[in-house]
Structure 1
């Protein structure tokens, strides 16, 4: 009798173990792959669903564009409820990694705003759905799908795992009431800093904008910027360029704000210093970002943007879908809508966001082309021709982490 009881217990343990192993199997093993479905079927299955979009939430204009323009139109046209969840991208990836390790098939994230090193990490750790751009009607109709800017992301092959949502260029901002002629090169910037001690600084290397500033300095110290952006990171081959970069940064440090004893932790802190007049320049990875801040009274009305030789680094940012999205049809439909000419036009206008668009002008309807051309981006925004002439591609993602570590070792601790 006891033996029979023990056998029943063992049988139950085996049963529950098998259930557990089944639950912890491949996250997408039993899920429908919607990337191969008919588009009408996808849209039909997206109706009356909720899509959870996780994205960086540090810009109020961007948040308003999503909440006030995208959300009501998705609801009206597709009966999709879009929920915007603000979270820093590395935290999003950590959340996905945790769900993957737990074997969670129905995840809590449907869309991610992503690019650069975060995309590389997500791809390498298999946190993304896979190739999906081939099924998006708007992408294939209105975008130059073979554009190199869409095929690689900071040097990482995209392979259809993310859809281009926007593109931006790095610019500097200055108060023209205080600076009549901004520097035209990094050599002139160094001279200006020494002539105006305490009136310039930049964010730390861990900050996205601060790291971009430092990569601009790296480009400027190379024989040609292409020596950096066209090559994978090999420290021994860029050692001379790196040495000149640290020499430049250490040379300007004593004449930075607070004599370089403290660097702003992020762009928000630098913007605050600029708005208070403590420094006379700020910067950012969006050529039109000053417009909204001017209108809000944060930046002075005499704020203008400028770029310096050898050029301005620009990149494309993307939308992607996690490996375990519980609403693939809704995510696909929402992304397709956000890539539409109408949504891109609204994003291009300075009312909310004002950033540039990756859409191909020659592929969109003529009446929308005219609307794009009629948009007044604002006095602080450089002419499109000037931005295009100064455009420099991003280096591969490994330069970002390398810069964080080396800047700390070679500048902060010196």
Structure 2
């Protein structure tokens, strides 16, 4: 299904080149929005509806949007926030289709990231820059932070606002695993000792792909990838030590590496059932959340490699043809408020890492985060930030996934 959507997306992108920009009504709407003061935006956006499109696969995230964020914007602005679950590939197809038909927009906010953001921005599907309009952005964000200016290597230029942060972690049962491996070499030995009890999701699963990149970083570093051209042979030559490593690791994995979990969710279930002794995630608070939900044992712990782990920031954006941009920025401004960032930081609620600059918070605002009970399975945020490695440019990731598939799955 995902490959089919990518084919449709490619066709629509080609078609969009043949069409002129959206109609005068949309251009006028955007021009008025860009010229509006914050006071005018607040007045215009109140008492309206906002349609928030994004991945809907996590009940906790859905509940945070529906029950916490929606209540906040309803109380403050009388805005009715309507969440629409949709995979990002389908969102891009929808936006391109609306653009080509010069149709009125149906999406006000979209949860977006990486190459999908690049595709949307390059095809003029997004409104911007708008980050500079947000009072909470100026007040609480470090606008010079590289992670807030580049999304998987793509320049943001104010067309996105940060939503939260993620960082790759390993999750294991401390009752079974006395000491977690500190690097790729120890991980291989660990797999040999625990033959058949270790595995990882097959790329392009998001977490499985992150595991592959984390091994690559641990073996060959990351600096050379930052400005690397997306050339298949160049990338393959650089990551071959890691590919050879995955080949050596393969026979000691679950089912001797002849099959891999297709998703992170499948691996989580295998871990919860005791079929394997580790899992992994891009949310450092996931283990504590699963413990509190009764899905993981109380002895569950979290770990990262000694050299660090891959991290990224996820974002929200406003479609260029959105019909309610004023209310959309009001909602986004609340998303990056200390109150909302602290609420979703709680593992029982979501566990999403905050995007705010701690040095810009008042004593009372800092207490919002200090009062969050992270749980004993969570690594302290300061340790995570000190060991955070930058994401690889998005254009390299499909190449790495293709090489992994060709070399490891054959």
TM-score normalised by length of structure 2 = 0.91
Task: After superposing the two structures, state which structure 1 stretch, 140-149 or 226-235, moved more.
Answer: 226-235
In the alignment, what sits opposite 2:371?
A: 374
* Cα drift, residue 31 of structure 1: 2.2
Give, in whole Å, the separation in 1 of the partners of 2:259 and 2:160. 37
Task: After superposing the two structures, state which structure 1 stretch, 55-64 or 29-38, moved more.
Answer: 29-38
Provide, for residues 119-176 of structure 1, a one-character-per-residue CA deviation record: whole Å limited to 9, x for no partner: 1121122211121111111101111111111011110000000001111211000001
- State which structure, 1 or 2, has the greater radius of gyration over its C-alpha atoms: 1
In the alignment, what sits opposite 1:36?
A: 35
Provide, for residues 328-348 of structure 1, a one-character-per-residue CA deviation record: whole Å limited to 9, x for no partner: 111011101111111111111
Give, in whole Å, the separation in 2 of the partners of 1:345 and 1:383. 15
Give, in whole Å, the separation in 1 of the partners of 2:354 and 2:259. 36
The answer (yes or no) to whether the contact 2:209–2:401 under 8 Å persists in 1 is: yes
In the alignment, what sits opposite 1:228?
A: 225
Give, in whole Å, the separation in 1 of the partners of 2:115 and 2:373. 33
Runs of 4+ deviating beyond 6 Å: 21-24
In the alignment, what sits opposite 2:8?
A: none
Provide, for residues 319-371 of structure 1, a one-character-per-residue CA deviation record: whole Å limited to 9, x for no partner: 10011111111101110111111111111122301221110112122211123
The answer (yes or no) to whether the contact 1:27–1:103 under 8 Å persists in 2 is: no
Extract unaligned runs of 5+ from structure 2. Answer: 1-18
Give, in whole Å, the separation in 1 of the partners of 2:218 and 2:294. 34
How many matched pairs?
391
Task: Give the secondary structure class of the aligned counterpart of 1:359.
Answer: coil
In angstroms, what is the RMSD of aligned CA positions? 1.8
Task: Give the secondary structure class of the aligned counterpart of 2:29.
Answer: coil
* Cα drift, residue 50 of structure 1: 0.5
Give, in whole Å, the separation in 1 of the partners of 2:159 and 2:338. 21
The answer (yes or no) to whether the contact 2:30–2:127 under 8 Å persists in 1 is: no
Give, in whole Å, the separation in 2 of the partners of 1:267 and 1:82. 29
The answer (yes or no) to whether the contact 1:26–1:103 under 8 Å persists in 2 is: no
Extract unaligned runs of 5+ from structure 1. Answer: 1-20
Q: 1:30-69, aligned counterparts within 5 Å?
A: 30-33=28-31, 34-69=33-68
In the alignment, is residue 266 of structure 1 matched against residue 263 of structure 2? yes
TM-score normalised by length of structure 1 = 0.90
In the alignment, what sits opposite 1:99?
A: 98
The structure-2 alpha-carbon separation of the partners of 1:313 and 1:230, relative to structure 1 and needing over 3 Å to count, comes to farther
The structure-2 alpha-carbon separation of the partners of 1:26 and 1:258, relative to structure 1 and needing over 3 Å to count, comes to farther
In the alignment, what sits opposite 1:287?
A: 284
In the alignment, what sits opposite 2:191?
A: 193
In the alignment, is residue 305 of structure 1 matched against residue 308 of structure 2? no
The structure-2 alpha-carbon separation of the partners of 1:24 and 1:393, relative to structure 1 and needing over 3 Å to count, comes to closer
The structure-2 alpha-carbon separation of the partners of 1:24 and 1:150, relative to structure 1 and needing over 3 Å to count, comes to closer
